[in-house]
Amino acid sequence: MTEDAPTGVGTTAIGVAAMRAAETRRPDRLFEDPLAAAFVAGAGWGRVEIEDVEPERRPGIIALAAWVSARTRFLDDLVLEATASGVRQVVLLGAGLDARAFRVHWPDGVRVFELDTPAMLAFKQRVLDDVGSTPRAERIVIPIDLREDWPAALREAGFDAGAPAAWVVEGLLVYLDEQSVDRVMSDIAALSAPGSRLGVTSSSSASIDSLRAAVGAGVASLWISALPEEIVPWMAGYGWTATAKDARELLADHGRTFPRRDPARPPSWLIDGRR
C-alpha cells in the first residue's frame, strides 16, 4: 500500500476499482473504466486477478465482482438518461474512486459534484494528476465526511436545490447504521426538486448475509446495515416513486449470468427513484 492509499472503509474503494478494472478487460464488458487500473496501481496493489484469491473465497469474490459490474452499468445508464432529459446536476455521494466525471460522455452544461472524505479525494486527485486525466464535465470536489453537514457544503459549492439533480448512492448505505441511512436519505429528499432522479444500490439483509458468508471476514465486517425487503414503500417514505431491479435481471438483460446459480438467493437491489 502507498502512504496515501485509503484505509479502513476507504480500502473497499480500491477493491471496487480492481473489480471495475477486471470488467474493463473483458471483451463483453458492461462499461469501460480506464482509470480503475490506475487507482489500483496508485494504491500499490498491483494487478489483481481472480486466480490470486484463495480457492475457498473465489466464488464469493466472483459474485461480488458481478454485483459491482451490474450496479456500475445500472447507474451509468441512469445518469445518462437523466442528463439526456435535461438534468444538469449530478451528485456522487460517497464518491470514492468513481470515475464517471472522466469516462461518461456528458451533455454540455453538466456539473458533477463529488463528496467524500478529504483523504479519499486527495488520493484520488493524486492519481488523476499522475495520469493527467481531464474531466468531461465541470467537476466540483467537496472534501467532507458525510457525518458532517454535507448538504450545506453542497449548496456552498454551487448546488441548486431548486433545480433537478441526479443522485448516485452506490455501495454506500451498507456502511452506515440505520439512523445514518435515514439521515442521508432525508437530506437527499430535502435537496431534490421535481424531475430529480436517485440511483441507489444496496442489498437486503439476507443477501448481505449470503455474501458475508461467501467472502469471509475483512471487508464483510464493515457491512453494518441493509435495506428492507419492500423497497418501493421504503423509497416512497422519502418522496420517491421507485422501481427496484435485482442485479441478476440486469446481467441477464446483457446476456450475462450471475455466477452463483441459486434461484433462492436474496436480491441485491438496483433502485431507480423519480420525482
Please list the rounded mean pLDDT of every run of 10 residues in the chain (275 residues).
84 92 95 97 81 65 88 98 98 98 98 98 98 98 96 98 98 90 97 98 68 56 75 96 93 85 67 97
The DSSP secondary-structure symbol of 158 reads T
Beta-bridged to residue 197, according to DSSP, are 166, 274
Q: Cell numbers 463529488 correspond to what residue? A: 114
What local confidence, expressed as pLDDT, does residue 58 receive?
72
Number of other CB atoms surrounding residue 180 within 10 Å: 16
Q: Which of 223, 222, 161, 167 is nearest to 193 (CA)?
A: 161
Give this prediction's pTM. 0.92
CA separation for the pair 245, 257 (Å, rounded): 15
CATH classification (class only), 57-274: alpha beta
What local confidence, expressed as pLDDT, does residue 162 receive?
98
Domain residue limits, the chain: 57-274
Q: According to DSSP H, which parts of the chain are helical?
A: 11-25, 36-42, 58-84, 100-103, 118-131, 150-156, 178-190, 205-215, 231-236, 247-253
